[in-house]
Structure 1
Amino acid sequence: MEYADQAPHVGASTLFLVTPRVPYRWLPLTEDFAGYSCLFDDAFLLPARSGVVLAELPIFQPGAYPVWEVAEADCVAIEAIFQKMAHELGSGYAYKHDLLRTYLWELIHLVQKLQPAPAPLATHSAAERVAAQFTELLEQQFPRHSPQPPLRLRTATDYAHQLAVHVNHLNRVLKETTGHTTTALISRRLTQEAKLLLKQTAWSISEIADSLGFADVAHFCTFFKRHAAQTPGDFRRLAVFGL
């Protein structure tokens, strides 16, 4: 499978979670495979009574790794949940969707427990809040679904203005919390998206450059070669055709 700019191998007893925020593509290596899938949208999963919001869980955060190798005991538990969901989906029970919602939350929490994240702190520093807001703002611009309109935010100054902070302050905060400058983080995300568009769309290089907010193809090619160590055309030929 391909997920963002990664290509993790999915073997037996593997769980795979994706969100619409990150493009993915399933590439089966054999026809001899079986499993379960469950597709749902935000409207189906209302906030839990506890106040948990799906998008705030660590397993659905930008950068979270989507593939889990599942131990046999956990695999049995996960399969049982899917079987209950499949059975209920075909039933005539009037409140089956409430029950399905409960099963789905059970599945999500089971997965969350497989790789528990540190408990969130009761308070966050101002720097952490700004860094989190920057990351959210950056991810909101992706994935790209059309060459037009181009990216609204492209530079460190654009993000600083949107966050109502000085560009030097934003850079200092991100360097402190992530170890990278604002420009480096933006460039890394742009490179990731450019690779995806080159691999998974038929857009011309000019259209990709426009979509990502570059002034012209030459600037995009220079940027891509600097960060990917090859031209966009060479990357596409190798990724798509193996040439």
Structure 2
Amino acid sequence: MRGTTVLPGEGNSGLPGEEGVPTHRLEVPMPNALPFAIGTFDTIGPMSRASFPHRHTFHEIVHVTGGTGRHVVDLTGFALRPPNLCFIAPGQVHHWEDVTGLEGSVILFTDDFLLDHPADRHALRGLGRRSWLELPDEAADRTARLVADLDGEYRAGADGFQGVLRALLHVLVVRAARLPAHHPAAAPPVPRTRPGSVAARFMTLLGGPDGSLGSVRACARQLGVCESYLSEAVKESTGRTPGELIRQARVHEAKRLLLRTELSVRQVAARVGFGDPAYFCRFFRRETGASPGDFRRGGGDIHHDHRLESIARARPPA
């Protein structure tokens, strides 16, 4: 993740009054934090319960344990009937309506955090299309324990906590994918990004085994559209350009290969679409702040502090 960053819940372009749908970026302050955060609605910040439509460049999972009102995702409204579990994928538009007494936990992370379980990217985007889940008694108890464990690991920051966080998140995603979807009483409007749309198909390409390797031109050709149309559709749907998303996917796959395989840097470069290893090294350092070698030697853990202090430390009562 790049270093021009803001804390979750603060500023950037996630505010109303800008052209188009505001976009909120989880660009946690590297080099001092993970691309992951968990906290309450209060500790994450006001954007976690924003009443105006906005989208994210990251994944958001919301575990609602109290409150009344509605949550609107891609123009479909869902009544709060806690406990609920909500999944919002990058690019989806959402906001809260007439909400009072909102309680629960908010989990924020980027695709970059899914190094150990890259297939979870597919599952999360599928959950984003279903979005709103009601939790039967047994599922509610299991979910509450998992979210509490995630929060505890994040706050404690003990040795190996990154791996534990990734494992717990994986279990949460897999179990959620087994649950039936909640369907609102009224027929939902057509969502902004339909599963078969050009933007959705582009995101599927990126999530596939070879998705990070193609250029914008190659992706457009594979989807049967021109580059300008692809750029317009993806920008409208996600708030980001196809080129930005391809770079992000390449970095994610390069990190996974560096940490989880014995491939040489030259081989990793070739796997993610770079014929020139030197250019790949410059690209990787520009995007991550570290060389491929340093990243591998540090086990992906090249910094000392990984949590957002304002969230990891519980705030004293007012």
State the structure with bigger RCO (CA 8 A, min sep 6), 1 or 2.
Answer: 2
Higher strand proportion: 2
TM-score, normalised via structure 1 length: 0.50
Higher helix share: 1
Q: TM-score, normalised by structure 2?
A: 0.39
